[in-house]
Amino acid sequence: MKVPIVIFAILIGGLSIALLNISPNKAEQPQEEVQVKVDYPKHINKFIGKYCTDCHDEDIQKGGVDLSSFSLENMTQIDEDLWAKVYHQVESGTMPPKKKKKQPTTELRHEFTNNLSEHLNSNIRTKHEMIGRTVIRRLTREEYENTLKDLFEIEDLEIKEFLPPDQKSHGFDNIAHSQNLSHVQIARYLEAADFILDRAMNPQPKPEYKEWDIEAVKAHRFNIGNDAIKKDGKIYMLRQPNSAQTPWYISDFKVHYSGEYKLKMWTYGTEVKSTGKGKETKLSDEKKTDKHHVLMFYANPSKNVLRKQGNVNVPPNKYEAPVSIHLNLIRGEKPLFQIATMSDRAYGTAIAVEKLQMTGPHISSWPPASHKLLFGDLQSVQWDNKMKVREPLQRYQNFTGIKSIKRQSSQWMVVSDNPEQDAEELLYKFMQKAIRRPVERSEVAPYLELVKNRLKENYCFQDSMKTGYKAILCSPDFLYFQENFGNLSDDALASRLSYFLWKSMPDKQLTELARNGKLKNDAILKSQVNRMLADKKSKRFIHSFIDQWLELENINLTIPDSKLFPEFDDWLQDCIARETYEFFTTMVKENLSPTHLVDSDFLVVNQRLAQLYELDKIDGDKLRKVKIPKDHIRGGLLTQASILKITANGTTTSPVIRGAWVTEKIIGKHIPPPPPNAGSVEPDTRGATTIRELLDKHRNNSSCIGCHQLIDPPGFALESFNPMGAYRERYRNLDKGDKVKKRILGKDAKYKLKLDVDSTGETVNGTKFTTINEFRELLLKDKKGLAKNVTEKLLTFATGSQVHFTDAETIEEITKDADVVGIKDIIHGIVQSKIFRRK
Amino acid sequence: MSQTFWIRPKSINRRTMLKGLGVAMALPHLEAMAVAKTPEVPKRMVAICTDQGIVPGYFFPKAKQKWTETRYLKHLSDHHADMTMLSGVSLPDVTGGHHADVVFLTGAAHPSRPGFKNSVSLDQVAAEHVGIKTRFQSLPILIGRENKRSLSFTRSGVMIPPEKKASNLFKKLFIQGDKKQVQAQMAKLQEGRSILDVVRVKSKNLADHVGKADKEKLEQYEHAVREAEKRLQTMQAWESKTKPTVKAKVPQDFLKPGYLIDRSRVMYDMTKLALETDSTRLVTIMIEGDFNPKVIIEGHDINEGWHQLTHHGWRKEKLSQLGAIEDAQFGVLNDFLNDLKSVKEDDQTLLDRTSVLYGTNMGCANRHSNDNLPYLVIGGGYKHKGHLKFDEKNNYPLSNLYLTELHRLGVNVNSFSSSTGTMKGLEFS
């Protein structure tokens, strides 16, 4: 490999120009080249010694920082991060602190930051040239699952639960440096491969397609009289059964083959009155209604586990056509549904159901693609005990991630007339697809050997092949990214791109472009990014990125206290995360400016969210873009219910937690943890003191105020929102205050209103604000900062590496037109950048 | 000279070691002793973390109150002589509220910070030494919802997935497959080994073509494969041995989150059976409250989720419900201790040879603090002296207890995690 020589022109003190050779291998360096080497460490240490070590030395270690223990030579990642911090602190003028008498002149400060930046850049670049900016990366369990889904074309494959969760680092779970591996995963990879191969193999005849006409009155075991009434051959569902019975099963239907089914429902919403009790209940005639209802569908693989399938709208008054929903059901599962728009107490409205029809499994071709990938066009027969080979091994029959092997009476198996030849061909083809780079024929050998050994031991062809495939799926070739040094090969680039925007392996088009050497072309790369973002697989990127960046993965961690926040229901729980995903999807699709994270002129809402946000009535479950009324308090991420919920604990809110969230996630400043024994503030839920008063006592302490001045202001601005994301002017509590006369979801409100909310605050540089809208304006002033932050987060996620000091130039370049740059531009900028295209 | 390991001056607290072996021993004989001619006394450990905290006011004594008289300790009155209450202890540099559950037995610093990497857990260090003697090197158990969390972590910081179903645990421990099943299982283990053989060679080839840093990662893979192979081999060996038989029947699983107490009870039952039959000597139990549904406590109307209740804000009706849950938790713990004591082994009870570490990752769940952890050390042959009080402002490192525990289990190490020495005031009898 030829060693690149990087030459930097450096201005030192405005006088001398130094040429510096950076070379990973000094021995190869041409001797005659002239070098004027600047001793950066000496300059840097001189400054540090003069202005910093008064506080940051071994003895005092102010802020936990001891500069004497960090090296400028052979820097580790920890050293690099520390020096990067020093650079930013000195460059921004935060350090040395203003109160210190000894201050460097502006010139000295400049000289120092220049020296430090040159030293860091050259050292880190050299290191990256030698070992890469990132180390070899392993598929995360999410990527592993998606890769297998796409490899075998099985959409509802749920396999990540087989593997232990991946370590998160710098906010994301794909950071190569922090990835661990131990025997635990290896054992699990073996198990998971078994599971997936059993699902993929389908030697048996095509399962029969069936239609089940289900009479509405027989469809589920309603508690007739209380929950539902039969009348004129219809079922009138009057209320949501209580939570213990939720959701309802659809019976008279059984899934024998895991796959796609379709449910049609002839149904509409209406208004009826019921009189009497139990079986004596009578219904009044139907009345017109303007209420749109929503049903939420699930499947349950085992007790207490629900897999969400989707929501459907029920039209008011009559139906034009049946509503239908596609269900991905796994063998043995039953579909269930829940009425999102009704509570278990409130009567008055009803959903009439005339009949239901279930059809399936819907199979486009047989054998399925997964089987063809493994066995081509080879025939299958039924085993019997007269055959020479062993009986085929039992396969997983219950594909729910829960191990259960049921015995089948007569096993089907794939047969081959030329087993060894077929094995070689099949393995080769499989590797070509699974391994994400061109494969040499010779690479098949060790796997073929495995298969041959199994054949010798008299295992049937199918089971022998399975051993070979299992080995491939556990091999480092499959589990790791294969990235070469320097500019990534086309194949490596295709993989990096694909795991960025799809969280999975490249598809046929990407692979072909890579194999033809075309992907490196800027224009083609750009058009591929556009194609990939338009593909539905990009949903995986949005979800994974948002889940991790904004911590939306914690959305179900708490449930708002039912007495304090009785409005919170299952439907709202279901909608709030969707809003944020959909909002960010819109930002990407329409290439909107990162400022939309803070403020947008639109919201993406449905009926339930519009109700929570006090907007005009919208019907149905589908999320759609609506314009925000003038002076409305919502807009951007910060006022989305999802964010307001994950930054609360279900009962109370804390400006510190919310403030820290905004500071870290949106502004992009890392907050050091509180010093030991800092203590923390316990919210007073009895309503006597506001959190602000409690906090004041704590933060006015001199050792706390420094950080809290920075952290708390966004949290104060967000005090106007309660733990489920609704607007508030007074705090709710259950002890003292004014009673509220309101019926919520059929129950009397139990909470009381007492203290007033105060959403005013002052930023660290002394600017005052009184509402969230005013605070937003302040955040919007730093467009560049907002753009840089989201770029850093995306870059981390895209490359599987933390942001390095040397990345600053690229980030600056991508965001240089902060006024016009959009999220899509940023994604393009990252993909086109050298950082992304080199290891 | 492999024995030098045993007499290296700093490698173990020699005094403790000598005490454990009999003080009369003269130094030169130590080497011989280390090879252990005396019949081995099995040492066991059960570490339990209940992750929603323990209300400190009901656990720790108030001024002038005896430690045995607090609301929660009263539930354990039969065992006061066999236990030590720790106060003023925590894991140094462990922050992050709920996130600290994953470091309860590892002590790795700042679990919620960027770049966090977990380290090896106490039980897994012990497993490397005592694990090989039993069918299961260790048994991580979860009383909770998903297979996402356990207390046990490998050397490379990877979580060892827990068992969450009592019935599965029972099957693993005691149900002997028929001949055909055993053969099938053996064949599967053999297949696994041959596969691992191939992929290990693959990774070696790959490692020859990459840079230094990548090579290290691939070596980690290779090492992991080798470890997995070893385990398959051990499993094969155990597979050919008959499993112990017990009178108990396959237990009910109680998977509904409301059944926290019933679930705890069956898991404690399984733990006792596993220890009694010497199927394992190391059990970790994570009791997870990461679910919102309400816990069912007989005679109490619990109308809010467990986690919600921990954010009681000192509201009476919330605290009384939370107290009822934790009362019941200590109730089943007491039953468990009774069970361990009821089993005789030689002239000792199972509890004498099993240390039960019971605690939580949060000192006060109401405000998510990770200091002043409520903690009990029970049984295990320690000289229990009641309440060991440390500084509430400047906590004593809990990792020192873990080092002491390792020494008790016969693991000869100088330090564990953030330990600064062995536990002050806690000695072996």
The pair of three-digit structure tokens given for residue B413, joined into one six-digit string: 């190490």
Per-residue model confidence (pLDDT) at position A696: 80
Smallest CA–CA distance from B96 into chain A, residue: A673
**Residues of chain A neighbouring B366 (CB-CB closer than 8 A):** 682
Average pLDDT over residues B171-192: 87
At B218, list the tokens: 């691939």
Least confident span in A3-12, A355-364, A662-671, A797-806: A3-12
Any CB–CB contact under 8 A between B154 and chain A?
Answer: yes
Same domain, residue pair A312 and A433: no
Q: Per-residue pLDDT tens for B122-166?
A: 999 999 888 878 999 999 999 987 657 899 998 888 888 899 999
Q: How much is the average pLDDT of B19-46?
A: 52
Is some CB atom of chain A closer than 8 A to the CB atom of B168?
no
Inter-chain touch A557–B218, beta carbons under 8 Å: no
Q: Provide the pLDDT for residue A200.
A: 93
Amino acid present at A218: K
B156 touches B220 (CB < 8 A): yes
Q: For residue A197, give how far its alpha carbon lies from the nearest alpha carbon of chain B (Å).
A: 15
- Where residue A19 falls among pLDDT bands split at 50, 70, 90? very low
Is residue B353 over pLDDT 90?
yes
Nearest to B122 by CA among B425, B426, B404, B428: B404
For A686, the closest of B257, B313, B368 (CB atoms) is: B313
Sign for the CA dihedral angle at A400, A406, A410, A413 comes to positive
Q: Which residue, A474, A505, A535, sits at the end of a domain?
A: A535
Cβ <8 Å between B115 and A735: no
Assess whether A295 and A343 both reside in one domain.
yes
Chain B residues in contact with A679 (beta carbon < 8 A): 369
> Do residues A238 and A152 both lie within one domain?
no
For residue A1, is it within any domain?
Answer: no
Measure the CA–CA gap between B408 and B404, rounded to whole angstroms: 6
Within 8 A of A673 by CB-CB distance, chain B residues are 95-96, 110, 113
The label of the residue with tokens 């081999």 reads B233
H or E, element range at B265:
helix B260-276
At residue A517, the pLDDT reads: 95
The tens digit of pLDDT for each residue in A207-254 reads 999 999 887 766 666 666 677 888 888 888 888 766 555 667 777 778
Per-residue confidence band for B38, with pLDDT thresholds at 50, 70 and 90: low
Specify the DSSP class assigned to residue A594: G
Length of chain B: 429
Two tokens at A453? 């050994």
The predicted structure's pLDDT at residue B235: 87
Task: Report whether pLDDT(A132) > 80.
Answer: yes
Chosen from A81, A178, A182, A454 to mutate, greatest number of chain B CBs within 10 A? A182
* pLDDT tens-digit series, residues A191-211: 999 999 998 999 989 999 999
* Total number of domains in chain A: 6
Structural domain span for residue A690:
549-781
As given in the structure block, the two tokens for residue A745 are 């979801």
| Residue A651 in this model has a pLDDT that exceeds 90 | no
Asked if residue A739 and residue A643 are part of one domain, the reply reads: yes
Q: What is the pLDDT of residue A244?
A: 55
The mean per-residue pLDDT over the stretch B166-179 comes to 89
Residue B36: pLDDT over 80: no
Q: Is the pLDDT of residue A450 over 90?
A: yes
Beta bridge partners of B386: B84
Same domain, A119 and A172: no
Q: Six-digit token pair at A361?
A: 């499994």
Among all residues of chain B, which has the CA nearest to that of A127? B213
Contact B159 A184 (CB under 8 A): yes
In the predicted model, is pLDDT for residue B16 greater than 90?
no
Å between A475 CA and nearest CA of chain B:
5
Residue that has been written with the tokens 């799926």 in this structure:
A473
Which H or E run includes A308? strand A307-314
Instruction: Please tell me whether residues A557 and A665 are part of one structural domain.
Output: yes
CA distance A226 to A218: 16
Q: Within 13 Å and on the Cβ side, how many CA atoms surround A192?
A: 24
Lowest mean pLDDT across A234-243, A297-306, A560-569: A297-306
What is residue A744's predicted lDDT score, i.e. its pLDDT?
87
Beta strand A234-237 pairing with A349-360: antiparallel
In the predicted structure, residue B19 carries a pLDDT above the cut 70: no
* Stretch 242-281 of chain B: residues touching chain A, C-beta under 8 Å: 255-257
Q: Based on the domain organization, do A446 and A331 belong to the same domain?
A: no
Q: Would you call A168 and B312 a contact, using CB atoms and an 8 Å cutoff?
A: no
pLDDT of residue A556: 83
Tokens of B92: 């140094």
Handedness of CA B322, B323, B328, B329 (dihedral sign): positive
Closest CA to A215 of A354, A55, A88, A351: A354
Q: What pLDDT was estimated at residue A677?
A: 59
DSSP state of A630: T
Residues forming beta bridges with residue A213, ordered by sequence position: A357
Tell me the average pLDDT of chain B: 86
Structure confidence at residue A6 (pLDDT): 35
Give residue-wise pLDDT tens across range A416-443: 999 999 999 999 999 999 999 999 999 9
The per-residue pLDDT for B290 is 64
Interface subset of B 6-25, CB within 8 angstroms of A: none
B33 — pLDDT class (breaks 50, 70, 90): very low
Look at the domain B43-167+247-428 and name its fold: Alkaline Phosphatase, subunit A (3.40.720)
In which element (H, E) is residue A161 found?
none
Q: What is the pLDDT of residues B316-336, one digit of tens each?
A: 888 999 999 999 999 999 999
Residue in the block written with tokens 């022998």: A464
Pairwise CA distance, residues A532 & A497, whole Å: 9
Asked if residue B111 has pLDDT above 50, the reply is yes
Do B313 and A168 count as a contact with CB atoms less than 8 A apart?
A: no
Chain B residues within 8 A of A476 when measuring between CB atoms: 199, 202-203, 206, 218, 221
**More confidently predicted of A557 and A366:** A366
For residue A679, the model assigns a pLDDT of 62
| pLDDT for B15 | 36
Same domain, A239 and A274: yes
Q: Is A217 found in the same domain as A199?
A: no
Of B88, B399, B393, B313, which Cα lies nearest the Cα of A679?
A: B393
Query: Going by DSSP bridges, is the β-strand pair A234-237/A228-231 parallel, antiparallel, or unpaired?
Result: antiparallel
pLDDT band at B6 (very low <50, low <70, confident <90, very high): very low
- Among residues B123, B117, B122, the alpha carbon closest in space to that of B157 is found at B117
Most confident of A157-166, A611-620, B38-47: A611-620
A188, A453, A476 member nearest B221 (Cβ): A476
Which residues neighbour A46 within 8 Å (Cβ) at sequence distance 6 or greater? Answer: none
Q: Do A558 and B257 touch (CB under 8 A)?
A: no
Eight-class DSSP state of A596? G
Q: Is the pLDDT score of B274 beyond 90?
A: yes
Q: What mean pLDDT is predicted for residues B40-65?
A: 94
Tens of pLDDT, residue by residue over A264-296, are 999 999 998 888 777 777 888 899 999 999 999
B291: nearest CA partner in chain A: A557
So what's the pLDDT on residue B28? 34
DSSP code string of A477-491: HHHB----SSBPPHH
Cross-chain Cβ contact B307/A650 below 8 Å: yes
| Inter-residue long-range contacts of B145-148, CB under 8 Å, 24+ positions, other chains counted | B145/B257, B145/B288, B145/B290, B145/B291, B146/A161, B146/B290, B147/A161, B148/A165
CA distance A755 to A730: 6
| Residue B209 Cα distances to A472, A483, B112, angstroms | 19, 11, 36
Return d(Cα B399, Cα B92) in angstroms, integer: 8
Q: Assess whether A671 and A808 both reside in one domain.
A: no
Q: What is the per-residue pLDDT across A712-765, written as a single tens digit (0 to 9) for each?
A: 999 999 999 999 999 999 999 988 899 999 988 888 999 999 999 999 999 988
Report the sign of the C-alpha dihedral through residues A103, A109, A111, A114, in that order.
positive
User: A15 pLDDT exceeds 50?
Assistant: no
- Quick one: pLDDT band at residue A38, thresholds 50, 70, 90? confident
Check residue B414 and report its DSSP letter: S
Model confidence pLDDT, tens digit, residues B296-318: 998 898 888 888 888 887 888 88
One-letter amino acid for residue B39 of the chain:
P
With respect to residue A259, please indicate whether it lies within any of the assigned structural domains.
Answer: yes
What is the reported pLDDT for B339?
95
* Segments of A503-639 assigned E as strands: 602-605, 624-627
* Each residue's pLDDT tens digit, A469-479: 999 999 999 99
On whether the CB atoms of residues B163 and B169 are closer than 8 A, the answer is: yes
Q: What is the mean pLDDT of residues A123-136?
A: 89
| Out of A573-582, A695-704, A745-754, B125-134, least confident range | A695-704
| B186 in A contact zone (CB under 8 Å) | no
- Sign of the four-CA dihedral B209, B212, B213, B219: positive
Res A361: pLDDT:
92
Indicate if the pLDDT at residue A399 is higher than 60: no
DSSP string, A301-353: SSTT--EEEEEEEE-BS--SS-EEEEEEE-TT-EEEEEETT--SS--SEEEEE
Please name the residues in contact with B80: beta carbons below 8 A apart, sequence gap of 6 or more.
B68, B73, B386
Q: Distance between alpha carbon A688 and the CA centroid of its chain, in Å?
A: 39
Q: Which of A136, A178, A453 sits opposite B115 (nearest CB)?
A: A178
